[in-house]
Amino acid sequence: MSTIIEDIVARKVLNSRGDETIEVDVITVDGVGRASAPSGASRGKAEVVPFPNGSVDEAVKRVEEVIAPELIGLSADEQEEIDGLLHDLDGTDDFSEIGGNTAYAVSLAVAEAAANSYGLPLFQYLGGYVARELPYPLGNVLGGGKHALGKAPDIQEFLVLSIGAPTFAEAARANVLVHKRLGRIIKRFDANFTGGKGDEGAWAPNLTSGEALEALTEACEAISGEVGFECRVGLDVAASSLWNPEKKEYTYVRDGVKRDPGEQLEYIKELIEKYRLIYVEDPFHEEDFESFKELTRRVRGCLICGDDLFVTNSERLCRGIEMCAGNSIIIKVNQVGTLTDAWRTTETAKKARYIPVISHRSGETTAFHIAHLAVAFGCPIIKTGVMGGERAAKINELIRIEEMLGNRARMPKLTF
């Protein structure tokens, strides 16, 4: 079998918001890999640049004129070497020359081409025979912030995590049941609710953050009783989008409240305690390591996760680890550029006992690679939505992987 790269093809495709993005095919003698890049509505300032000069056309051009000539003839199974070459070809610290999304699509397509060349599923090619642990699905069931229009909650995502499920398939089904039950409950809180949804397929009602939490808590408790295991509530506050750097305060427009950093910390702590939250992502703005540290010190039994705080960057993560700021990290490959970069950050997190949560983005494609990466990297949680074709693509792929693994498949034990 040969993994020699014979050709690389790039094109423009559409993501779930109808925006253009890049897709790349890597063709070897004995296999083909294809990957497309997602895009986030709320992006961390420390993320790599998604496209050169903000242009998908320029990204496609960079693949054709800069990347393909250098990669053709190399072996696709030399992942680390190829990812290093992508950095060299770019020559910047933030992938501003070729684009982080360009690097992402090429890097993932190379890995899939190598896996297909060997006749292996991607998770097994990357993770080996020991890769057999399925993640718990973390799903957005009610949305606000930048993921919704109109008078939706200020908090960006209200999430469900079915942590007691014995299998991935049962956990995914429980999340769907919560989503459906929540839709009925919302109508009691918002009589004019017509079933509107945001970017990730989550309900987008005219509710305050408190009303949204009450509704979701009720839905989770009801479904927990039906399925026989715990469905717990989580949040993605996306606090950077609420932060006013001039006034040094968080502005909750829908709730009509402004909070300074100390008040924000007390507010989040109260929510964790009142609603038994199991997960809170980005409760403070992306440079406030100190507040992350203090919240982590003061609460127990809840994942305090950094997305904009860490942006899958190992240096920022190491700063957080040294301070004990948070205990979990979102892993989004295109925040940092390549598969190798994301893997290194994930390994750093696991060694420090930070829970890595591999994640989709709000502007997704139907590519399913993060499903395989969750298993290959040993991420105990995958944040990938609940409803919508681009979200279901990842969930359904994990159901297939669970079936493929058979009695070797297992669910993780979450300790934090």
DSSP of 208-239, one letter per residue? Answer: -HHHHHHHHHHHHHHHHHHHTS--EEEEE--G
Say whether both 116 and 163 belong to one domain.
Answer: no
Inter-residue contact 286 to 309 (CB < 8 Å): yes
**pLDDT of amino acid 316:** 98
> Is 107 part of any domain?
yes
Last residue of a domain, one of 120, 151, 180: 120
> Is 16 part of any domain?
yes
Say whether both 87 and 143 belong to one domain.
Answer: no
Give alpha helix (H) positions in 146-260. 168-189, 209-227
Confidence of residue 177 (pLDDT cuts 50, 70, 90): very high
Say whether both 231 and 321 belong to one domain.
Answer: yes
> Is 415 part of any domain?
no
> Is 130 part of any domain?
no
Inter-residue contact 127 to 377 (CB < 8 Å): yes
Say whether both 184 and 97 belong to one domain.
Answer: no
Closest CA to 301 of 261, 330, 269, 263: 269
> Is 279 part of any domain?
yes
Percent of the chain with pLDDT over 70: 99
CA distance 154 to 240: 12
- Average pLDDT over the chain, rounded to an integer: 96
Phi/psi of residue 23, each to 5°? -125, 140
Say whether both 363 and 248 belong to one domain.
Answer: yes
Last residue of a domain, one of 86, 120, 154: 120
Say whether both 143 and 111 belong to one domain.
Answer: no
CATH of the domain at 276: 3.20.20.120
**pLDDT of amino acid 415:** 79
pLDDT at 148 over 70: no
Say whether both 204 and 112 belong to one domain.
Answer: no
pLDDT at 43 over 80: no
Instruction: Tell me the residue type at 412.
Output: P
Say whether both 90 and 214 belong to one domain.
Answer: no
Quote the domain boundaries for residue 332: 136-408
Is 269 an active-site residue?
no
> Is 413 part of any domain?
no
Confidence of residue 147 (pLDDT cuts 50, 70, 90): low
The total of other beta-carbon atoms located within 10 Å of residue 73's CB is 9
In total, how many domains does the chain have? Answer: 2
Inter-residue contact 51 to 378 (CB < 8 Å): no
CA distance 173 to 160: 12
Is 332 an active-site residue?
yes
Instruction: Tell me the residue type at 86.
Output: L
Which of 200, 211, 281, 364 is the catalytic position?
200
> Is 224 part of any domain?
yes
Give alpha helix (H) positions in 228-313. 261-275, 289-298
Which of 293, 332, 383, 394 is the catalytic position?
332
Q: For the segment 289-327, what is each residue's pLDDT rounded down to a tens digit?
A: 999 999 999 999 999 999 999 999 999 999 999 999 999
Say whether both 221 and 364 belong to one domain.
Answer: yes
pLDDT at 199 over 90: no
Say whether both 204 and 230 belong to one domain.
Answer: yes
Please report the beta strands in 326-401, taking only residues with DSSP state E, as ranges in sequence order. Answer: 328-331, 355-359, 381-383
> Is 125 part of any domain?
no
Which class for 309: exposed (0-12), middle (13-18), buried (19 or more C-beta within 10 A)?
Answer: buried
Say whether both 182 and 276 belong to one domain.
Answer: yes
Instruction: List Cβ neighbours of 70 (8 Å cut-off, separation of 6 or more).
Output: 85, 89
Closest CA to 97 of 106, 89, 108, 85: 89
CA distance 399 to 409: 11
Q: For the segment 219-232, what is each residue's pLDDT rounded down to a tens digit?
A: 999 999 999 999 99
Say whether both 221 and 301 belong to one domain.
Answer: yes
CATH of the domain at 9: 3.30.390.10
Last residue of a domain, one of 94, 120, 146: 120
Inter-residue contact 390 to 364 (CB < 8 Å): yes
Annotate 170-186 with b (16+ C-beta within 10 A) or e (fewer).
Answer: bbbbbbbbbbebbbebb
